[in-house]
């Protein structure tokens, strides 16, 4: 990463053993601006030799970092957090160029990333062990130690927040890392890594690579250097990654996709619920693993909810993320655009009604209009397949137990949302919804002070909160006989 200028797209390089470098074979792929479909730069694709260099660096870096006094580690990481904050505007602009999200959202993501790092820094200082009463002449203790070099894999939808959730936990715990970030948003990840490097992080502690996903993951996971595999992405790919890790007995942290239900109960305020749900639905164009994506509304509130949701949807301003007026940018790539068109067409072919949206506005850029679908049958693909797009299917229900059954009917269990004015109903939702993340009367996202993660096919392990360090630490029992 060689530039922090806000008016150009920077040159992207691999970061290995403390050095920025090109691919050993000179291999690269184009980086496309999703708002224009124009190539704006290239991303280097690592060779096997590059990956081996990164693994050696991570092994050496771990020995250095784990023996670095915690006070010094804290000092370096706090400096990195300060640099992320100082560079948030430039990081955000690069994120918008290659990822499409509105500049305000992108800058906000960078700033939140710095706060996440600060949380994990201080939480790691409290990774206490304990002393256990034992027989006279014997000391029995429990220690918490860093697990070792980590291989991490992250997607494109949160190009700075996603990588940093893993980087901040791993480094705060005393681990080193080789991270493969998305080839679609590489400059944002490089800008993040540059903050750590410029803060004085020892060479080899944090290594950044890009490349063919299957080849990179296979090589990094199989290496005896790697002691933990951390992945965020789709359920199908997550299962493949977890299987590879299991073959070589590596623990893994899996933050996978979902299909979050929103249950609007009979005693909820339909206008407030619709407003809050719509705001969350179209954040990052629906490209969020916790995005509300199935709306189950009590029949007595259904029309009022739909009317307000449509009104809120039609207030969304679609455009280039660099335009200050834009509130929703393009989808990040052509794959998501094709999926949005396919899911909408399938729902309509099965009897669904498009209340608003449903089309690609214009011919340039990967834009898809915010879309509200009603009369959606249960067998429509969108009711069982995570849309990862600005699509909102809304269906009525008459009985809360029935709605909970529908909400829990899929193999996913990442996030769920409920709206009610009753404490008793809220408790029923809390107990009855099968999800690792539940919000009542809002659709808020992840926060660094509390854990996030899924159940069922949505993965295992937690990121955020004190639980975030668990995967990166091993528990060692020490029994010391004194005579």
Please give the positions annotated as active site: 255, 289
Q: Which residues pair with 472 in a beta bridge?
A: none
- Which residues, at least 6 apart from 482, have a Cβ–Cβ distance to it below 8 Å? 137, 138, 139
Residue with tokens 């792929």: 29
Residue in 416, 429, 419 with CA at minimum distance from that of residue 458: 416
Residue with tokens 């490209």: 287
Q: Which residues pair with 478 in a beta bridge?
A: 141
For residues 193 and 164, give the distance between their C-alpha atoms in angstroms, rounded to a whole number: 9
How far out from the chain centre does Cα 416 lie? 16
CB 152 within 8 A of CB 231: yes
Residue with tokens 């009367």: 441
For residues 160 and 95, give the distance between their C-alpha atoms in angstroms, rounded to a whole number: 8
CB 435 within 8 A of CB 454: yes
For residues 443 and 6, give the distance between their C-alpha atoms in angstroms, rounded to a whole number: 32
């Amino acid at each position: 990463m060689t530039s922090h200028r806000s008016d150009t797209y920077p040159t992207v390089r691999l970061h290995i053993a403390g050095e920025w470098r090109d691919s050993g074979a000179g291999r690269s792929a184009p980086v496309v601006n999703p708002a224009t479909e124009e190539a704006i730069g290239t991303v280097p694709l690592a060779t096997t030799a590059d990956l081996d260099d990164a693994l050696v660096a991570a092994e050496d870096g771990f020995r250095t970092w784990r023996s670095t006094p915690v006070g010094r580690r804290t000092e370096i990481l706090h400096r990195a957090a300060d640099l992320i904050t100082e560079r948030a505007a430039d990081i955000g602009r690069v994120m918008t160029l290659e990822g499409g999200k509105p500049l305000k959202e992108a800058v906000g993501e960078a700033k939140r990333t710095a706060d996440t790092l600060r949380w994990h820094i201080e939480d790691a200082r409290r990774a206490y062990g304990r002393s256990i009463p034992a027989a006279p002449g014997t000391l029995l203790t429990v220690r918490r130690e860093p697990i070792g070099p980590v291989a991490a894999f992250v997607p494109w939808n949160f190009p700075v927040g996603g990588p940093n959730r893993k980087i901040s936990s791993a480094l705060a715990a005393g681990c080193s890392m080789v991270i493969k970030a998305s080839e679609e948003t590489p400059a944002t990840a490089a800008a993040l890594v540059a903050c750590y490097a410029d803060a004085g992080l020892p060479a080899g502690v944090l290594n950044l690579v890009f490349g063919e996903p299957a080849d990179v993951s296979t090589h990094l996971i199989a290496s005896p250097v790697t002691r933990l595999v951390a992945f965020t992405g789709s359920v199908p790919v997550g299962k493949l990654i977890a299987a590879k890790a299991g073959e070589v007995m590596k623990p893994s942290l899996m933050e996978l996709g979902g299909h979050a239900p929103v249950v609007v109960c009979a005693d909820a305020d339909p206008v407030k619920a619709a407003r809050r749900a719509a705001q969350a639905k179209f954040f990052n164009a629906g490209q969020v693993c916790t995005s509300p994506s199935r709306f189950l509304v009590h029949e007595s509130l259904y029309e009022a909810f739909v009317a307000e949701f449509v009104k809120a949807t039609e207030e969304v301003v679609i455009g280039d993320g660099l335009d200050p007026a834009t509130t929703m940018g393009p989808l990040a790539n052509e794959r998501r655009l094709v999926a949005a068109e396919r899911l909408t067409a399938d729902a309509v072919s099965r009897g669904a009604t498009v209340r608003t949206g449903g089309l690609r506005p214009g011919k340039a850029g990967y834009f898809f209009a915010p879309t509200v679908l009603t009369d959606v049958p249960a067998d429509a693909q969108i009711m069982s397949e995570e849309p990862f797009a600005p699509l909102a299917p809304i269906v009525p229900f008459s009985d809360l137990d029935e709605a909970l059954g529908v909400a829990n009917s899929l193999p996913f269990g990442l996030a769920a949302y409920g709206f009610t004015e009753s404490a008793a109903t809220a408790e029923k939702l809390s107990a009855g919804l099968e999800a690792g993340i539940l919000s009542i009367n809002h659709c808020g996202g992840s926060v660094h002070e509390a854990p996030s993660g899924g159940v069922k096919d949505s993965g295992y392990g937690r990121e955020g909160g004190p639980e975030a360090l668990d995967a990166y630490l091993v528990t060692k029992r020490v029994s010391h006989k004194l005579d």
